[in-house]
């Protein structure tokens, strides 16, 4: 119920969205901590108060509320999410529909859930600025629970939002030792490599192959599903007489790329990635022939060849985000060491075993990450 309320609130309030929390002029600008910018807290509180009076004029607010409290009033369902997660930490949020796996999540629902990510991330930053890291941590745990059951690309996007708050808290020395232990443990449960393998198999079996089979049986299907778009008559006529063998050849190309190349670029057991296992990686820009295969691929509609390009891009983003997760885990342990010794260690080996025995390694070569 809490998740449905928050989802409805974000959808209903057009001013409370992924874009509004990042766009200048909508919500108060919190600054880029990576560049040393320090936000003006009184100005932030004043802007939030003004926004509250504009959007919810019927409710009078006390004048002494902090920024984080004003934000909670603007979207009270976020507090409900924290409370529900706190009282039922081992339960997932109910999403209002039967979901057996991530491929059963409707696109609209998934995007709505992902829109909650930046809204939570904004509140996390406000909490850190108000020196309330406990609220920031609770919001992060809500975000990760929302992400559970979604596709790797969606989990990655929500996690990237949370990592920004974690790193800002580390830069400000906001987290205490127990909170750092929780963050390290929660980050350790996010395995993008395993999710990537599942998504490769799922996209191949549940999306690509059915689409090609459908196109093989009904050549007009692709344009009919576009609605009002009408391609040149000669283009449609050409595909009406395309040999079925061309469709089968494209299916064979997908099979080779997805099941014999893409899926083997990651090894979740050893926590490694192997980009060199892609024999013919896509070109640098998307198009109807993204892998430079020539005829007949350069004549296929983009909908049937787009994944050949985007799968490689998803792999690179997945690997990059997984490295960020691993580095954040090490940073949490370095901060714990700093809190205990008032200095950072000379080498990462000093963190073992007192701060964890499973020190993340380099996912490219399997070696130790440099300090």
Q: For the segment 155-171, what is each residue's pLDDT rounded down to a tens digit?
A: 898 898 899 999 999 99
Q: Residues near 143 by Cβ (< 8 Å), separated by ≥ 6?
A: 116, 117, 120, 121, 158, 159, 161, 162
Q: Where are the alpha helices (DSSP H) in the chain?
A: 2-12, 41-55, 67-74, 77-87, 107-129, 133-147, 152-171, 177-188, 192-203, 209-217, 221-224, 233-240, 244-260, 302-341
Per-residue pLDDT at 110: 52
The mean pLDDT of the chain is: 79
Q: For the segment 180-227, what is each residue's pLDDT rounded down to a tens digit?
A: 999 999 999 999 999 999 989 988 898 888 888 888 888 776 665 554
Per-residue pLDDT at 57: 79
Per-residue pLDDT at 23: 52
Q: What is the DSSP letter of 46?
A: H
Q: Residues near 158 by Cβ (< 8 Å), separated by ≥ 6?
A: 114, 117, 143, 144, 146, 147, 150
User: From CA 167, how far away is CA 107, in angstroms rounded?
Assistant: 30
Read off the pLDDT band of 22 (50, 70, 90). low
Q: Residues near 285 by Cβ (< 8 Å), separated by ≥ 6?
A: none
In this structure, the chain runs to a length of 371
CA dist list (Å): 75 to 79, 115, 179, 202, 252: 8, 13, 25, 35, 50
Tokens of 257: 């790329």
Per-residue pLDDT at 121: 87
Strand, coil or helix: 273? strand
User: From CA 157, how far away is CA 154, in angstroms rounded?
Assistant: 5
Greatest mean pLDDT among 62-76, 274-288, 291-305, 327-341: 327-341
CA dist list (Å): 245 to 20, 175, 214, 242, 298: 49, 60, 14, 8, 16
Contact 279, 296 (CB under 8 A): no
Contact 28, 43 (CB under 8 A): yes
CA dist list (Å): 336 to 40, 172, 333: 29, 14, 5
Is 56's pLDDT higher than 80? no
User: From CA 96, how far away is CA 5, in angstroms rounded?
Assistant: 11
Examine residue 296 and say whether the peptide bond preceding it is cis (omega within 30 degrees of 0). yes
Strand bridging mode 266-267 / 272-273: antiparallel
Q: For the segment 88-138, what is each residue's pLDDT rounded down to a tens digit?
A: 887 777 655 444 444 444 444 555 666 777 888 888 999 999 999 999 999
**So where are the chain's domains?**
2-174, 176-371
Choose among 266, 261, 248: nearest CA to 319: 266
Per-residue pLDDT at 112: 61
Strand, coil or helix: 207? helix
Is 15's pLDDT higher than 50? no
Beta bridge partners of 267: 272
């Amino acid at each position: 119920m809490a998740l449905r309320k928050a989802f409805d609130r974000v959808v209903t309030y057009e001013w409370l969205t992924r874009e509004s929390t990042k766009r200048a002029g909508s919500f108060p600008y919190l600054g880029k901590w990576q560049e040393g910018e320090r936000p003006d807290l009184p100005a932030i509180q004043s802007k939030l108060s003004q926004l509250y009076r504009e959007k919810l004029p019927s409710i009078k607010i006390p004048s002494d509320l902090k920024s984080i409290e004003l934000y909670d009033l603007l979207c009270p369902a976020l507090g409900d999410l924290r409370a529900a997660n706190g009282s039922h930490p081992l339960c997932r949020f109910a999403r209002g529909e039967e979901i057996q796996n991530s491929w059963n999540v409707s696109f609209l629902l998934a995007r709505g859930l992902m829109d909650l990510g930046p809204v939570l991330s904004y509140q996390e930053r406000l909490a850190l600025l108000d020196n309330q890291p406990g609220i920031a941590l609770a919001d992060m745990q809500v975000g990760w629970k929302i992400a559970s059951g979604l596709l790797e690309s969606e989990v990655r996007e929500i996690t990237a939002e949370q990592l920004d708050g974690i790193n800002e808290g580390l830069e400000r020395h906001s987290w205490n030792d127990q909170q750092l232990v929780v963050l390290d443990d929660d980050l350790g449960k996010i395995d993008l490599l395993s999710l990537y393998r599942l998504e490769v198999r799922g996209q191949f079996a549940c999306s690509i192959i059915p689409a090609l089979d459908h196109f093989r049986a009904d050549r007009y299907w692709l344009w009919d599903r576009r609605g009002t778009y009408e391609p040149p008559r000669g283009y449609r006529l050409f595909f009406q007489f395309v040999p079925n063998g061309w469709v089968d050849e494209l299916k064979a190309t997908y099979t080779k790329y997805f099941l014999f190349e893409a899926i083997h670029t990651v090894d979740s057991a050893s926590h490694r990635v192997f980009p060199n296992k892609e024999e013919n990686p896509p070109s640098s820009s998307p198009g109807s022939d993204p892998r430079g295969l020539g005829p007949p691929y350069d004549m296929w509609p983009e909908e049937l060849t787009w994944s050949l390009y985007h799968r490689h891009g998803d792999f690179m983003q997945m690997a990059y985000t997984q490295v960020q997760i691993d580095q954040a885990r090490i940073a949490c342990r370095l901060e714990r060491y700093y809190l205990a010794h008032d200095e950072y260690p000379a080498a990462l080996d000093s963190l073992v075993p007192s701060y964890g025995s499973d020190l993340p390694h380099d996912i490219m070569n399997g070696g130790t990450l440099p300090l």
